Structure 1
Amino acid sequence: MNSKVILILISLLFMGSGIFAQQQSSLIQITVKDSSDNTPLKDIVIKIDFKRANFSSSENGVHTFYLPQGEYGITISHLGYKTFRKRINVKSSTIEFSVSLINVAKELDEVIVNNQGGSGGNVSRQLLGVTPLSIKTIKKIPAMMGETDVLRGLQMLPGVTSVGEAANGVNIRGGTTDQNLILLDDTPIFNPTHLFGLFSIFPPDATAGLDLYKGGIPSRFGGRVSSVIDISLLNPSLDKFKATGGISLVANRLTIEQPIIKDKMAVLVSGRASYNDFFFKLGPPKLQNIRANFYDLVTKVFYRMNAKNTLTFSGYLSNDFFQTDLLGTISNVNATSTQYAYSTKNASVKWFHSFNSKLNIQTSAILTDYEPKTLLPELNSSNTVNIESGIVYKQLKSSLSYQPNDKHHFEGGISSILYSINPGKLNPGTSNSVNPITIPEERGLESSIFLEDEIALNRRVSLSLGLRYSHYMALGAATVRNYKPSLPLNDINVIDSTKYKSGEVFANYGGFEPRISFKYLLTDNSSVKVGYSLMRQYLQVVSNTTTPLPTSRWTMSNNYIKPQVSQLISAGYFKNSANNIYEFSLEGYYRSTENVLDFKPGADFVFQPFIETQTLQGKGKAYGLELMVSKKKGEITGWINYTYSRALNQINAGQGFGEQINSGNWYATNFDRPHSFNATVSISQGGHHEFGFTFVYNTGRPFTVPEGYVQYNEVKYPYYLERNNQRISDYHRLDFSWTIRNPSMTKKRWEGSWTFGIYNLYARQNAYSVYLKSEKTINAYQLTIFGSAIPSLTYNFKFM
């Protein structure tokens, strides 16, 4: 009897608890529809606090289930749609709300390719080897020390590498850093980095995006033989005030857009400054005297004069200062430190006139002034020895564009560029131990005319035909040596010299530069493209370092240094998924270059008035295969790519050790890295969190090791026979970033976010170079720029 009572009591207890739970539960009704057409969505997945929920569904998209009262995180997902996330507080007996899921196929592109060429631009774009990269995409890439970097973003693309973290530029499809034409709102940039390659000079908040041309280069571009990096600045807002900026441990930045005359005239001002080098004082003694800071300033004024005319002014100013205890090599200077100061001042004025909807003209005046300096403060003196150099670039150009219909676009134009180069000047100040030195100025005039015709022959076949003619004249005043024929160009073989007056022409070069691109549309989602380009370069850097320094010497073509001439053949296959979410591309290329410039064994460029005695010219070749897959839309976006490439030179200017490199055989360039793999992933968790990951792998670059050692007076000296005969260890790195936003701020005028990042997450000690040091014996040491994980924290904001 007692056992029956107990059994009844237990049953009533469980029944009572179930009744109590039912009384405390609330009815949840969620209506889920397509955001574009309000179609009810079935077969959805609902998760409550990451656990899948059971629910009933109706034909009109209403999904019903019960929840006990409390706070929950709800996730609603459906195949092909962006996931919806929300936190709800269940208090009342019934909760109803609607959810509109966004179809991923109809979402705006998140990565890489802008809407150039319309939907499926990867397939329909006429030129191959062209990558439009938006600043939005670049900002998703984890940044070193929290500084959004255009050049580091470029290095995540196939065919783009560098020699390491402290590289003063990028190498594109086997080209040197000076073979890239880098334009900031049409003004050329001769040094694209701050602090010897740690950061790029392009202010992220004032940059609209960039176009990378590494294959089919339009004929409107000239003067370089490898690639074009065309970076555009934002046009200021004509209707309302805007402000964006950020604060980090490295630099602080602020960008302001202010209408002056509403809908007609506005100005943009963007500034960035790094004055946080006081941290060096907190480090070990060997770092306490280092100083490193920079700033850059951008301004852009846009004026819409009327419906047919606009006027645009762009200005850019940057300055770097770096001080180290490592001393320079100028004889008789007893310096306490070496200071590097270099600046860029750019300006452009553009007038655009529209004759009608089909015909327009744009005329531009451009000025660039690049001034690197090396300063040597003397010991026990207030005097500073100053070493100066620089480039002044002046250009006038005009282009006419005619587009009679959607299938035909014609463009033509003319350009004239005046170069003035200061190769080097030593100003000793009040020092009595150093004599002043001035290397004569180099001047040259480059003129060109170009035509482009892009036409769709039918639905599947289209052509881009371009022709450029460039002509270069080396201008006096100049003194040109005459050397003994068929003998090395050196001081011993000088016969006499010829002097030319100011403005007198003493060397002429020029020729046609055809550019051809063919596209065949296989299906609506796939195409093949073939291209050919010939390019000429009259301006180049001479350097005997791994990567040219900001203070490296620039020189013009003359009687002995011929212009570089490059021919590029490329082909590719492109395919998009049916909804343009995924893109696939496979490109191959082969480039041959005449008159590549390299340095003689033991070359010394310091204050050398006759640079031809220190350089050699020969042939170069580069070839490669690039594979890339990208996901452009959805919560998870990004891309992976693999490149196999080679970059080789052959220098055989004559008989003898000093006239050949590696006995006249082909040898790997400093930036020859056969295997390259990059991966970038961005994970967006609603409007609150965004995670970014990048992984980079490159084959180690070549470097030179001695063949042996010679001992003299008990001192060992290395001797070298082959250049770039070994490779440093392979490079790989993983980066991470986490951006936190407050969703409640998205509809307010002020929006703020925090980004936490870790550069080199697993603290890989990647080798930058290997150097020899004479101690009791000669020992080899590996130089690493970043040998540990580097955390960063940045606060970004915008006000609209």
Structure 2
Amino acid sequence: MQKAVSNSLLLFFLLIFSCPTILGQSTSEKKSLISILKHLEKKHDIRFSYATNEIDDIHILTPNENFKLEESLKYLSNKTSFNYIKINKRYITVQNKKNTVLKCGKIFDSNTNLALEAAEVTFSNSSKTTFTNKEGLFYFPSNQYSGLIIISFLGYQDVIINSKEFKNDCVPIFIFEEASLLEQVFIKLFFTKGIQKNLDGSFKLNTNNIGLVPGQTENDVFQIIQALPGIESIDESISNINIRGGTQDENLILWDGIKMYQNGHFFGLISAFNPDLTKDVRVYKNGTHARFGESVSGIVDMKSDNTIANEIKGGIGVNLINASAFLSIPVTKNLGLQVSGRSSINNIIETGVYNSYSNKIFQDTEILSLLNEASTLSVSADEDFSFYDLSAKVLWDFSEKDKVRVNFLNIDNSLDFIETLNETSQSKTSNLNQQSIASGVSWEHLWTDKITTNLLGYSSYYLLNSLNQDIFTEQTQMQENKVLETGIKLDASIAFSDKFNLQTGYHLSEVGIENTQDINIPGFSSREKEVLQTHVLYGNSTYKPFSDNTIINAGLRINYYSSFDKIIPEPRLSIHQKLGNGFAVETLGEFKSQTTTQRIDFQSDFLGVVKRRWTLSNNKDIPIIRSKQASLGFVYNKNNWLINLEGFLKKVKGITTSNQGFQNQFQFEKSIGNYSVKGVEFVLNKKSESLSTWFSYTYLKNDYDFAELTPSKFPNNLDIKHSATLASSYQINRFKVALGINWHHGKPFTTPNEDNEIININGENSINYNEPNSDNLPDYFRINISAEYLWSLSSKIDLKLNAALLNVLDRTNSINIRHALNSNDIGETRISQVEEVSLGFSPNVSLQFLFN
């Protein structure tokens, strides 16, 4: 009996002490929920996302140490008023059960019906992004996220779906593979969010959700790409982008496949392309896809939004220079309309930024010199400047396999300069107009899952004209530069297998360029017109012999110029080889050519504001420009560290003294030559969840070779030997800020000989120059700051505030120096030095209301 009692007591005590274990909890004291979550984070190498103020005062018994992660989450869900939702393998969000109605979606491959893990899900009305789990599932609280949801996955077409379509059940979403293999991304975040480096060596900018670069007020494409190594503007002008030592006219600028001959507003200080509808931008420095021609330097390929909106969305905004608006309208399920416009606001208010920009653009022009002279003469002078752009796009998906797009773009800059004699009230008006009109119709057809074709017919028109009237001499000078390009492009993409892809096509274009000049005193008139028709066949293949470890892009472009009966082949090559452990090597090479260039006849042309005019090759004194380039790069990309070292060699032949814009002893010489560039680009980038810091450095040696000039070899006008940037971009929730320091070696210029500055040649005085480009301007140095904040005013309306401080230290940087002859008060000839300086301290603010 006593033994039975003892056994019963023993069993009783065992049950008492094992009860907490059976129930899944310990007998220890209650602990705060925060401490329990931190313990689980350390134990399972995970991260919880929660609002501290909601869980700060909650204390519960800890879950059993033997529990697996899923068991611990289930225990916490039962013991608290929160759901614990796995966003991906590492991140878990904590959501209040009472205040949250969770919506669910599941992503499938449309061909295999298999769930896709790690698909990116972005909520358009916030900066939040999540990813699908192993089952292809993602969750979001309906009371926090509304509007459009963008689903992206590498190698697949983006899908946009309205959050209203998410009901009680988990919504299945099927996404389709991309026909092209060239969209594969090598470095997803290069410097800041939205800038990517692709496996073919190109860079891609996604302006929908891009981070900040220093100095950025809006998503100005041509400002953002200057953050990339090897790309800069030595005179701070958007319309003068220099890519690896090349001039602006050596770049190909495309808008929805149409070549643009103008890319700037305010005569070059801001981009002419509305950032609200410019979605994707591709930038090539070397290894260019064979589809692209007509450039010997870089490619900037811009594409507007190509998706029909699910609901009306748009925005209106204003900064200290211009006001803008855009609108995307779903007319029907298969028909959409996009419109946008911008206009300068200086006719309403002239802000400090406008005045700063005006002083920058009009220095060393007839406008500023006459304004200054008018203050000392009995003449009053005034200028009236304005700009605008309008764009429209019709999107029609008339079947599941057919897409038709109609595009229109109009860009306009206008300047009137009025001089008035105070005594007689007689006045004369000089004016300058710059305009571009582009239009195109494209049809994309999906023949099979592996074959796609696209047909584009387009027209691109450019006009630059000026009327210069002298109020004292009655002289009137009219100058005009016209460009009209029309063409057809047929492109096809064939995905033979996972390892091999081919893109091929035929392009036909006809370019006509006309230059006119008319002067009344003395009577002079000239008109030049050239027309060139070009036929192009190209093929570009992507081959992956060893999966993604080796990517080979090889292409050939064949240009036939019917007017010259001349064929120019252009091979292209890009090889990306992974070496393992985060290391990779890249080899790029290309041959390219172009027939359209810009020249400068006189520094006073077009009122001195836009001195460059387009000309067309005649295969004689204006040859076809041709280039060769090769580069070798090494990349380390691992553990949020990026190191990129790339060396390159580039040679361009067929340039003329006129299109280089010399301001020295070669200003009026007519000669054909070449230039060669060798350089190194280095990038060091450290990234964390919220912060990205980078340092980039470019060494570049750029030299001319003109056989008919003396000396024949001398530094290029764009020979910036050393250039460096140190910058950081920080983002937390809806706030972004960026700070950057830019420094580069001063550009070359030519000085007069101090011992004998003026010489007389055939009875005319001339400047006796030293060796060409033998001196350099002082080093350039500038600090820029940008910030952005996005307020959610309602489920439908956001307010975005941007601010930028350019040249924070208000440093006066010299960007050009030239010399000219004039006379002093007693009629003696002397040399005056004309200096152009950079923008001073320029703060700008942008306010934009976004709705959907």
TM-score normalised by structure 2 residue count: 0.71
Asked if the contact 1:281–1:289 (Cα under 8 Å) also holds between the matched residues in 2, the reply is no
Judged with a 3 Å threshold, the aligned counterparts in structure 2 of structure 1 residues 340 and 602 are, in CA distance, closer, same or farther, namely closer
Asked if the contact 1:158–1:641 (Cα under 8 Å) also holds between the matched residues in 2, the reply is yes
Equivalent position SS for 2:308? coil
Which AA in structure 1 matches 2:673?
G
**Which residue of the other structure, out of 453, 458, 480, is the alignment partner of 2:541?**
453
Which AA in structure 1 matches 2:308?
S
Quote the offset at 1:389 in angstroms.
Answer: 1.4
Q: Distance in 1 between matches of 2:660 and 2:319?
A: 44
Deviation digits for residues 366-415 of structure 1 (CA, Å, limit 9, x no counterpart):
10000001122463999975421111001111112110222110111111
What pairs up with 1:245-644 in 2 under 5 angstroms? 245-262=316-333, 264-277=334-347, 279=349, 286=372, 289-323=382-416, 336=428, 338-377=430-469, 379=471, 386-426=478-518, 433=521, 435=523, 437-459=525-547, 460-474=549-563, 507-523=564-580, 525-543=582-600, 549=610, 551-578=612-639, 581-599=640-658, 615-631=670-686, 634-637=689-692, 639-644=694-699
Q: Distance in 1 between matches of 2:293 and 2:851?
A: 40
What pairs up with 1:153-302 in 2 under 5 angstroms? 153-166=224-237, 168-262=239-333, 264-277=334-347, 279=349, 286=372, 289-302=382-395
Judged with a 3 Å threshold, the aligned counterparts in structure 2 of structure 1 residues 390 and 247 are, in CA distance, closer, same or farther, namely same
Q: Match for residue 780 of structure 1?
A: 833
Deviation digits for residues 64-96 of structure 1 (CA, Å, limit 9, x no counterpart):
9xxxxxxxxxxxxxxx9999999xxxxxxxx99
Q: Distance in 1 between matches of 2:347 and 2:703?
A: 40
Quote the offset at 1:531 in angstroms.
Answer: 2.1
Deviation digits for residues 287-345 of structure 1 (CA, Å, limit 9, x no counterpart):
97233221111111111010121111111100001345799xxxxxx994642211000
Q: Distance in 2 between matches of 1:737 and 1:361?
A: 42
Q: Distance in 2 between matches of 1:207 and 1:56?
A: 52
Q: Distance in 2 between matches of 1:122 and 1:96?
A: 35
Judged with a 3 Å threshold, the aligned counterparts in structure 2 of structure 1 residues 603 and 770 are, in CA distance, closer, same or farther, namely closer
Asked if the contact 1:253–1:273 (Cα under 8 Å) also holds between the matched residues in 2, the reply is yes
Q: Distance in 2 between matches of 1:601 and 1:117?
A: 38
Equivalent position SS for 1:237? coil
Asked if the contact 2:490–2:507 (Cα under 8 Å) also holds between the matched residues in 1, the reply is yes
Q: Match for residue 75 of structure 1?
A: none
Judged with a 3 Å threshold, the aligned counterparts in structure 2 of structure 1 residues 602 and 84 are, in CA distance, closer, same or farther, namely closer
Which AA in structure 2 matches 1:391?
V
Asked if the contact 1:469–1:512 (Cα under 8 Å) also holds between the matched residues in 2, the reply is yes
Equivalent position SS for 2:290? coil
Which AA in structure 2 matches 1:345?
I
Q: Distance in 2 between matches of 1:96 and 1:152?
A: 43
Judged with a 3 Å threshold, the aligned counterparts in structure 2 of structure 1 residues 416 and 752 are, in CA distance, closer, same or farther, namely same
Deviation digits for residues 482-512 of structure 1 (CA, Å, limit 9, x no counterpart):
xxxxxxxxxxxxxxxxxxxxxxxxx333221
Which AA in structure 1 matches 2:758?
V
Which AA in structure 1 matches 2:382?
N
Quote the offset at 1:359 in angstroms.
Answer: 0.9
Deviation digits for residues 25-49 of structure 1 (CA, Å, limit 9, x no counterpart):
xx97548869x99997789999999
Equivalent position SS for 1:205? coil
Judged with a 3 Å threshold, the aligned counterparts in structure 2 of structure 1 residues 445 and 337 are, in CA distance, closer, same or farther, namely same
Judged with a 3 Å threshold, the aligned counterparts in structure 2 of structure 1 residues 246 and 598 are, in CA distance, closer, same or farther, namely same
Quote the offset at 1:695 in angstroms.
Answer: 2.1
Q: Distance in 1 between matches of 2:798 and 2:728?
A: 24
Asked if the contact 1:128–1:571 (Cα under 8 Å) also holds between the matched residues in 2, the reply is no
**Which residue of the other structure, out of 736, 748, 753, is the alignment partner of 2:795?**
748
Which AA in structure 1 matches 2:566?
Y
Q: Match for residue 798 of structure 1?
A: 850
- Where does the alignment leave 5 or more consecutive residues of structure 1 unmatched? 1-26, 65-79, 87-94, 98-104, 328-333, 475-506, 605-611, 654-659
Deviation digits for residues 640-678 of structure 1 (CA, Å, limit 9, x no counterpart):
31111122210013xxxxxx1x4112x222211111112
Q: Which has the higher contact order (CA 8 A, sep 6+)?
A: 1
Asked if the contact 2:800–2:850 (Cα under 8 Å) also holds between the matched residues in 1, the reply is no
Judged with a 3 Å threshold, the aligned counterparts in structure 2 of structure 1 residues 632 and 205 are, in CA distance, closer, same or farther, namely farther
Equivalent position SS for 1:396? strand
Q: Distance in 2 between matches of 1:596 and 1:589?
A: 20
Which AA in structure 2 matches 1:454?
T
Which AA in structure 1 matches 2:741?
F
Residue 733 in 1 paired to residue 779 in 2?
no
Judged with a 3 Å threshold, the aligned counterparts in structure 2 of structure 1 residues 47 and 466 are, in CA distance, closer, same or farther, namely closer
What pairs up with 1:688-727 in 2 under 5 angstroms? 689-707=735-753, 708-710=756-758, 718-727=767-776
Asked if the contact 2:290–2:556 (Cα under 8 Å) also holds between the matched residues in 1, the reply is yes
Equivalent position SS for 2:711? helix
Judged with a 3 Å threshold, the aligned counterparts in structure 2 of structure 1 residues 33 and 46 are, in CA distance, closer, same or farther, namely closer
Q: Distance in 1 between matches of 2:327 and 2:474?
A: 41
Q: Distance in 1 between matches of 2:34 and 2:340?
A: 46
Equivalent position SS for 1:155? helix
**Which residue of the other structure, out of 141, 151, 157, is the alignment partner of 2:213?**
141
Q: Distance in 2 between matches of 1:57 and 1:726?
A: 77
Q: Match for residue 477 of structure 1?
A: none
Asked if the contact 1:85–1:686 (Cα under 8 Å) also holds between the matched residues in 2, the reply is no
Q: Distance in 1 between matches of 2:293 and 2:415?
A: 33
Quote the offset at 1:544 in angstroms.
Answer: 6.0
Q: Match for residue 815 of structure 2?
A: 768
Percent pairwise identity = 21
Q: Distance in 1 between matches of 2:454 and 2:661?
A: 48
Which AA in structure 1 matches 2:817?
V
Judged with a 3 Å threshold, the aligned counterparts in structure 2 of structure 1 residues 520 and 643 are, in CA distance, closer, same or farther, namely same
Q: Distance in 1 between matches of 2:670 and 2:419?
A: 27
Asked if the contact 1:31–1:61 (Cα under 8 Å) also holds between the matched residues in 2, the reply is no
Deviation digits for residues 714-736 of structure 1 (CA, Å, limit 9, x no counterpart):
99852225322211111121111
Judged with a 3 Å threshold, the aligned counterparts in structure 2 of structure 1 residues 125 and 276 are, in CA distance, closer, same or farther, namely closer
Which AA in structure 2 matches 1:362?
N
Q: Distance in 2 between matches of 1:307 and 1:573?
A: 43
Equivalent position SS for 2:249? helix
Judged with a 3 Å threshold, the aligned counterparts in structure 2 of structure 1 residues 323 and 57 are, in CA distance, closer, same or farther, namely farther
Asked if the contact 1:312–1:350 (Cα under 8 Å) also holds between the matched residues in 2, the reply is yes
Q: Match for residue 711 of structure 2?
A: 663
Quote the offset at 1:557 in angstroms.
Answer: 3.1
Deviation digits for residues 507-557 of structure 1 (CA, Å, limit 9, x no counterpart):
333221111222222126332121221112122112268999365242323
Q: Match for residue 149 of structure 2?
A: none
Moved more, 391-400 or 509-518: 509-518
Which AA in structure 2 matches 1:260?
V
Quote the offset at 1:118 in angstroms.
Answer: 4.6
Which AA in structure 2 matches 1:559?
K
Equivalent position SS for 1:722? coil
